[in-house]
Structure 1
Amino acid sequence: MSLPQPVPPSWKDLGKSSNDLLSKDFPFQGFALEVKTKTPSGVAFKVAGNRDAKSDTINGDIEAKWSDRKHGVTITNTWTTSNILRSQVELENQIAQGLKLDVTSSLHPDKSTKTALINAIYKQSGFHTRGALDIFKGPTFTADTVIGRDGFLVGAEAAYNVTEGNVTRYAAAVGYNAPEYAITLHGLNNLKTFTASYYHRVSSDVEAGAKAVYDSKSTHGGVGIEVGAKAYLDQAAFVKAKINNAGVVALGYTQTLRPGVKASFGLALDTTKLNEVAPVGPSHKIGLNLVFDS
């Protein structure tokens, strides 16, 4: 008798270990501040703001989240500096075990634009599927499924325009997850863009990963490759580094200053244009991210 299979990752989380390694904790796009607090009644507030180094614009939002774990209900409301109001209502494990429903909507009063998305997620041993209906866009129905067994993963995604009666997008993926490494292959954009990602936990202190992307519609052709690594200096700090075949090197350093306070520093250098002085040179970037979590 075979052992019960774990719940596989969702479609959007296939290759997540490699993607997180190569994209997170590199805050070189500008300066960002995030403050998180929680009231005794269980309402969590988050205020976030960032200044984009390229456009010099400042954007931010304030979010309030209330959860009732006993009844599986979560309500989240967000208001952005662009005057966009977002709301999300989630209901989990109430209608059926493993089933999660949520309704996400947004409203832009200045432009009289609105969106509404109904999502359903169902996961069981060896099976993870999602469905989403975009009411005002199409409407369009999107579904994806991932099946997993003994570490092997197979997934697919498709979007269907209800009004026009045709499939507007499809994709597929295969992968293998082990305790210390993961390999994922994607065929995206109607199988016109292909990606391969690899993640390896070398030791308890060192992680490494790589990603290759090939776009058959790209006018430049060739394959884009990016490799990176993460090393823990101690329990409160780690460094990250990555480089791509375009010659851009990115460095990141994250330090927990005290419980609930974390600072991240990022630097990106274009090694083909080292004569430009960072951060003044347009080819080089530098940034800082502060997080306060009470």
Structure 2
Amino acid sequence: MSIFESLFSLEILRYFKLIPSVNAAIIKETVPCIRSDGTLSQKVICKDDEGNRVNCSSSWDEDDSKLTGEIALKMAPPYYADLGKKANDVFGKGYHFGVFKLDLKTKSEAGVEFTSGIVSNQESGKVFGSLSSKYAVKDYGLTFTEKWNTDNTLATDITIQDKIAAGLKVTLEGTFAPQTGSKTGKLKSSFANDTVAVNTNLDLDLAGPIVDVAAVLSYQGWLAGAHTQFDSQKAKFAKNNFALGYQSNDFALHTNVDNGKEFGGSIYQKVSDKLDCGISMKWTSGSSDTLFGVGAKFALDQDASLHAKVNNKSLIGLGYQQKLRPGVTLTLSAAIDGQNFNAGGHKVGVALELEP
């Protein structure tokens, strides 16, 4: 094959976009995205000069000294309440001690999401049920949520997101109990970008609102957060909490101090694709009692997982989660008191989640 035939063949391949053109202009854009935990983040995408989405690794940009084959992703820091969430999920998810639970989620053709649940407590014998509906108007960034439970409490939430400002979410929440006539209202807001996550909570009480503010700063994986609550009716700060931590894709470290008296920490490590491990520690000033726990989650396959945890008081938690079919998940769990094994008092739990 001659050199002219070779060049001709390359031009044909470039014409049909089978190989990238050396002179093609690659444009990088930063667009918002939603992480798996529901928080707002940003990612960098690449487009060619015709506006078509291309892989950033295939861009022959002079500014790129290496082709990484990955799209850069700027992760927003978690909100203060979500610090240590990865370790908390190891200890909390997959367990339903002492209850029988049924959850059902469905969605109508009009786009209304319905969620209903019922929980039967084995010790108290109380049965608690709830029902909620959610409808989103995506063009205006609005979400309307209606809730009801067997305590005869009604709740309504109105949320607007990314319309007032990018990354800003504002929620107006109200509850009403017809039997007692009690009414509550809250104005919540949250804002997040790649360096800071801030959320506020204002209790709409005319006698004296309670203002709750929390913020988390992120720098190269390191996290620093503060949380304070001011009671205007009593004119004093009810909470003064601080936290430090580090987070990556497979590792998370979290420490916190609440009101200068309660100290806590957690460590999360994703050992492999199948094994997640966590360590949790808590201690209260003035007390010699320290709570220390170790937990793990092991994925048997894509549809089944084992959960286990134990603390220094010999309380053992075991769980088994199985996806019976798409949208149907069964969870079996048991809590065992190792110090009083023969005395009984152990708890079992069953949960069934249905989601079409």
Quick check: TM above 0.5?
yes
Q: Which residue of structure 2 lines up, in the alignment, with residue 144 of structure 1?
A: 214
Question: Rg: which structure is higher?
Answer: 2
* Equivalent position of 2:274 in the other structure: 205
Partner of residue 158 from structure 1, selected from 228, 243, 252: 228
Match of 2:349 in 1: 287
Give the CA deviation at 1:179.
1.8
Q: CA deviation at 1:4?
A: 8.5
Partner of 2:327: 260
> Contact (CA 8 Å) 1:138, 1:161: kept in 2 or not?
yes
Structure-2 separation of matches of 1:20 and 1:157 = 21
Deviation at 1:138, TM superposition (A): 3.4
AA at the equivalent of 1:116: G
Q: Per the alignment, do residues 56 and 217 of structure 1 end up closer, same or farther by CA in structure 2, a change over 3 Å counting?
A: farther
Deviations 1:32-52 (A, max 9, x none): 000111001100101100001
Amino acid of the residue matched to residue 224 of structure 1? Answer: L
Distance 1:159 1:133 in 2: 10
Residues 1:5 and 1:293: Cα distance change in structure 2 (over 3 Å): closer
Q: RMSD of aligned C-alpha atoms?
A: 1.4
Q: How does 1:228-267 map to 2 (within 5 A)?
A: 228-267=295-334
List 4+ stretches of structure 1 deviating above 4 A.
none
Task: Return the offset for 1:217.
Answer: 5.0
| Superposed CA offset, 1:49-84 (max 9, x none) | 000111011001111110122221111111101101
Do the aligned partners of 1:5 and 1:149 also contact (CA within 8 Å) in 2?
A: no
In structure 2, the residue matched to 1:175 is 245
**Structure 1 position 145, deviation (Å):** 0.4
Note closer, same or farther for the CA distance 1:59–1:95 as it changes in structure 2 (3 Å cut). Answer: same
Q: Which of residues 195, 204, 224 in structure 2 aligns to 1:126?
A: 195
Q: Tell me what 2:21 maps to.
A: none
CA distance in 2, matches of 1:4, 1:207: 23
Q: CA deviation at 1:260?
A: 0.5
For residue 30 of structure 1, the aligned residue among 95, 99, 121 is 99
Consecutive unaligned residues of structure 2, counting only runs of 5 or more, are 1-71
Sequence identity, in percent? 31
Q: With a CA cutoff of 8 Å and minimum separation of 6, indicate the structure with the bigger relative contact order.
A: 1
Q: Is the 8 A contact 1:118 1:134 kept in 2?
A: yes
1:115 Cα deviation after fit: 1.3
Residues in 1 aligned to 2:108 and 2:350: alpha-carbon distance in whole angstroms: 28
Measure how far apart 1:21 and its partner are: 0.6
For normalisation by structure 2, the TM-score amounts to 0.78
Contact preservation (8 Å) 1:5, 1:150: no
Give the drift of 1:28.
Answer: 1.5
Most deviating of 160-169 and 5-14: 160-169
Q: Secondary structure at the match of 1:41?
A: coil
Q: 1:64-119 CA distances to partner (integer Å, 9 max, x unpaired)? A: 11012222111111110110101111100011111110011111111222211101
Could you tell me how far apart the structure 2 residues matched to 1:156 and 1:29 are?
35
Most deviating of 25-34 and 13-22: 25-34
The alignment covers a number of residue pairs equal to 284
* Alignment check: 8 A CA contact 1:160 1:166 kept: yes
Partner of 2:42: none
1:116 maps to 185
Q: Deviations over 1:183-240 (max 9, x none)?
A: 000111x12111110000000000000100001255xx32101110000001100000
Please say if residues 141 and 159 of structure 1, whose CA atoms lie closer than 8 Å, have aligned partners that are also in contact.
yes
Residue matched to 1:227 = 294
Secondary structure in structure 1 of the residue aligned to 2:140: coil
Amino acid at match of 1:272: Q
Distance change in 2, residues 1:254/1:101 (3 Å): same
Correspondent of 2:175 among 101, 106, 126:
106
Partner amino acid for 1:102?
A: T
Greater strand fraction, Structure 1 or Structure 2: 1
Q: Which blocks of at least 5 consecutive residues in structure 1 are unaligned?
A: none
Tell whether the 8 Å contact from 1:5 to 1:126 is kept in structure 2 after alignment.
no
